[in-house]
Amino acid sequence: MKEISIALAGNPNSGKTSIFNELTGTSQYVGNWPGVTVEKKEGTWRKNKKVKIQDLPGIYSLSPYTPEEIVARDYLLHQQPEVILNVVDASNLERNLYLTTQLLETGIPVVVDLNMMDVVKKMGNRVNEEKLAYGLGTPVVCTSAVKGDGVEAAAEKAEKWAKDKTFSPTFPSYDRKLESALSEIEDFLPSTISSRQTRWYAIKLFERDTRVQAELSFSEEIQKEIEEIIQISEKIFADDSESILINERYEFIVKLVELCSTKKDSFKLTWSDKIDRIVTNRILAIPVFAFVMWLVYYISIQTIGTMGTDWINDTLFGTIIPNAATGAMVSLHIAGWMQALVLDGIIAGVGAVLGFLPQIATLFFCLAVLEDCGYMARIAFVMDRFFRKFGLSGKSFIPMLIATGCGVPAVMATRTIENEKDRRMTVMVTTFMPCSAKLPIIALIAGAFFPTSSWVAPSAYFIGIAAIVLSGIMLKKTALFSGDPAPFIMELPAYHMPRARGVLQQTWNRSVAFVKKAGTIIFVACILIWFMSSYNFQLKPVAEDVSILAAIGNVVAPLFAPLGWGNWRATVATVTGLIAKENVVGTFGILYGGMAEVSENGHEVWPMLQVAFTSVSGYSFLIFNLLCAPCFAAIGAIHREMITWKWTGIAIGYQCGLAYLVSFVVYQLGSWFFENNNFGLGQFLAIGVIGGIIYALVRKPRKKLDMAGVPSAI
């Protein structure tokens, strides 16, 4: 049997990736906001391995204005799937059907999938799929992807439609005069173009699509004749050719929707609208957001999550596992050095990271609830209004929302930003958001130094946002990033009760990923750190203070002395954080946690940290590790998006520089205010840094755009 490709195409946030996951059995990330899928993905249908499913990025039209539209259009036109499963948000039929008309015009068999039918029913509306199928001249199926209803049937219908030998394309019919112009243009098309595609090419030539013009490379004479046909039509319709087609498409859609759908009462405010009046309110939006995020961190870091963490740290990794491992190794006569590696290296290091799992899982759960119910999408909308005041676009906030999970996909998500300068700037600042790997550092510092303060953990989130906003303002005033913010169009999904399945699935996936990372990358790093902290350069076992790690750490440590933590252990922890941010905690687990004789309970790390750091220097350490260069995986992603090492260097240099300056100011002024340190050179310089930052924020922007030396776009 021949392989069949089914392409999932539709508007952003219409549920394509949910359908893709349901059909392929994969767990690709699904976000309740547009722009999550930036590249097409391919999978195999679970029921039939000969059927390939392609998940295309969400698009509003096939006119290639955005990177996503280019990816989708190139695939549909040049790789030609056997059938398109057009995922339509049935609760917003008019706007979604615009793309449907264009997909039908490609000549590829299309099955229209009315998704979110559960939402339509809940709104009290109805869509008659038979009438819609009749009007479009193509099969229509109904699904509710999040519940998994009808998804398999939709794929079966698409497969059947792709195999239908009697298929001949049916196109939406427009005004008689326009049809006649399109038919005249079709006569000029070369015979190499298949009869199914002539309509598409005629329409694109009518729209003066430069890509199609270049592809067909007509003689000057034919070009002139086509141009005459277009100009005559423009005179008849008193509009430009592109607008003529847009109007005709919408006229067709309006008639079709009138025919096949009934709406309850469109003027009545829904619950969603009422909630939006508060949470997107001009004055209340930001305070509500701040309260929600404080609550999320309070629940996960300070209260519910911390109960599980205490048990894992004190009991599981503090007593049960070390005792069991010691007993087993002694009875098996394992060598002393191997026992030390297992107990002081692997169990202390990996255990220190895994200890934070309950807090992190609780945070994942809270964020998944906020995302699934539709609140996080509102934050992007609220932030657009806020960002725009400072010359930034809300489009930059979508990668930042993704960055709360992992910096790598967040950096990749910047591809949806068309403006090259805005995209580069977003790549540079997006990893300031605390990703899941940074959460153990936040929980560790909050627990060790501020156990009763509920502001410390959420402050990490707001410091990330503040660093992004302030960086945006400062960088926009430089020649490298100046320019107007890109427009941001975003549709807000209706609020709904979070679905247990989706929320638990996301929490589970992310928690499993966290455990996997602890069992792989962190495991290897712990072995290395233990070795380097237990042996000297002659490979002889020595005390930690004269180990390889101490020797290296002591060379770099003075650099961090002005930040309040110029000791080799903190320095080494920061550097190992470049492998994976969880390593910071893992390293502390080995370097501080291994000293069991000075501790009475499982929290070996906390008292030792309280000796090595003050509260202010601990907070300064937290801020530096939040804002400095991300892990190597994210640096790699930054390089892939920036293309050149020069730009990657600028990004990493800026992140480390800003982290250093902010930590410096926090430590110098914090130790003067709260720890009664004398006012000296450090404090004087810190005030100077604040002055410099204020100047960078308020100075007049550079007017002239200097493009020299800026690498070309992706």
Query: Which residues does residue 144 pair with via DSSP β-bridges, in sequence order?
Result: 149
Buried-exposed string 616-641: b where 16+ CB fall within 10 A, e elsewhere? bbbbbbbbbbbbbbbbebbbebbbeb
What single DSSP character describes residue 479? T
Asked if 376 and 34 touch (Cβ cutoff 8 Å), the reply is no
Residue with tokens 């911390």: 306
- Quote the CA–CA distance of 96 and 257 in Å, as a whole number: 11
Contacts of 586 by beta carbon, 8 Å cutoff, 6+ apart: 349, 350, 352, 353, 518, 522, 525, 526, 529, 576
From the list 27-35, 62-70, 213-221, 355-363, the region that binds another protein by CB under 8 A is 27-35
Binding of another protein by 29 (CB under 8 A) = yes
Binding of another protein by 456 (CB under 8 A) = no
Residues 334-363 that bind another protein (CB under 8 A): 334-335, 338, 341-342, 346
What tokens does 52 get?
A: 């390939």
Binding of another protein by 78 (CB under 8 A) = no
Among 165, 268, 333, 704, binds another protein (CB under 8 A): 333
| Count of beta carbons in the 10 Å neighbourhood of residue 281 | 13
Residues 411-430 that bind another protein (CB under 8 A): 412
From the list 33-41, 135-143, 487-495, 662-670, the region that binds another protein by CB under 8 A is 33-41
- CB closer to another protein, 329 vs 696: 329
Sketch the per residue contact string, 501 through 520, with another protein: x for CB under 8 A, - otherwise.
-----x--xx-xx--xx--x
From the list 38-46, 135-143, 450-458, 601-609, the region that binds another protein by CB under 8 A is 38-46
Binding of another protein by 37 (CB under 8 A) = yes
Q: Would you give the distance in Å from CA 466 to the centre of its chain?
A: 19
Least distance (Å) between residue 26 CB and another protein: 5
Buried-exposed string 455-475: b where 16+ CB fall within 10 A, e elsewhere? ebbbbbbbbbbebbbbbbbbb
- CB closer to another protein, 135 vs 434: 434
- CB closer to another protein, 260 vs 413: 413
List strand residue ranges (DSSP E) for 642-704, in order: none
Least distance (Å) between residue 524 CB and another protein: 5
- Quote the CA–CA distance of 433 and 693 in Å, as a whole number: 20
Among 457, 634, 638, 662, binds another protein (CB under 8 A): 634
Measuring CA to CA, which residue among 545, 350, 574 is closest to residue 445?
574
Least distance (Å) between residue 270 CB and another protein: 31
Sketch the per residue contact string, 525 through 544, with another protein: x for CB under 8 A, - otherwise.
--x-----------------
Least distance (Å) between residue 583 CB and another protein: 12
- CB closer to another protein, 182 vs 526: 526
- CB closer to another protein, 313 vs 507: 507
Least distance (Å) between residue 579 CB and another protein: 9
What single DSSP character describes residue 600? S
Count residues near another protein (CB under 8 A): 46
- Quote the CA–CA distance of 302 and 308 in Å, as a whole number: 11
- Quote the CA–CA distance of 359 and 212 in Å, as a whole number: 54
- CB closer to another protein, 69 vs 105: 69
Buried-exposed string 242-274: b where 16+ CB fall within 10 A, e elsewhere? eebbbebbeebbeebbeebbeeeeeeeeeeeee
- Phi and psi dihedrals of 626, rounded to 5? -75, -40
From the list 198-206, 288-296, 585-593, 631-639, the region that binds another protein by CB under 8 A is 631-639
From the list 37-45, 247-255, 656-664, 668-676, the region that binds another protein by CB under 8 A is 37-45
Dmax (CA) for the chain in angstroms is 95
Least distance (Å) between residue 338 CB and another protein: 5
Binding of another protein by 44 (CB under 8 A) = yes
Least distance (Å) between residue 624 CB and another protein: 21
Give the length of the chain. 714
Least distance (Å) between residue 332 CB and another protein: 4
- CB closer to another protein, 222 vs 329: 329
Buried-exposed string 533-564: b where 16+ CB fall within 10 A, e elsewhere? bbbbeeeeebebeebbbbeebeeebeebebbb
- CB closer to another protein, 348 vs 686: 348
Residues 244-263 that bind another protein (CB under 8 A): none
- CB closer to another protein, 249 vs 510: 510
Transcribe 30-41 into DSSP letters.
Answer: --SSTT---S-E
Binding of another protein by 524 (CB under 8 A) = yes
Contacts of 414 by beta carbon, 8 Å cutoff, 6+ apart: 396, 399, 423, 426, 427, 430, 641
Asked if 36 and 81 touch (Cβ cutoff 8 Å), the reply is no
Binding of another protein by 146 (CB under 8 A) = no
Sketch the per residue contact string, 361 through 400, with another protein: x for CB under 8 A, - otherwise.
----------------------------------------
Q: List residues binding another protein (CB under 8 A).
A: 24, 26-29, 36-44, 329, 332-335, 338, 341-342, 346, 405-406, 408-409, 412, 506, 509-510, 512-513, 516-517, 520-521, 523-524, 527, 580, 631-634, 636
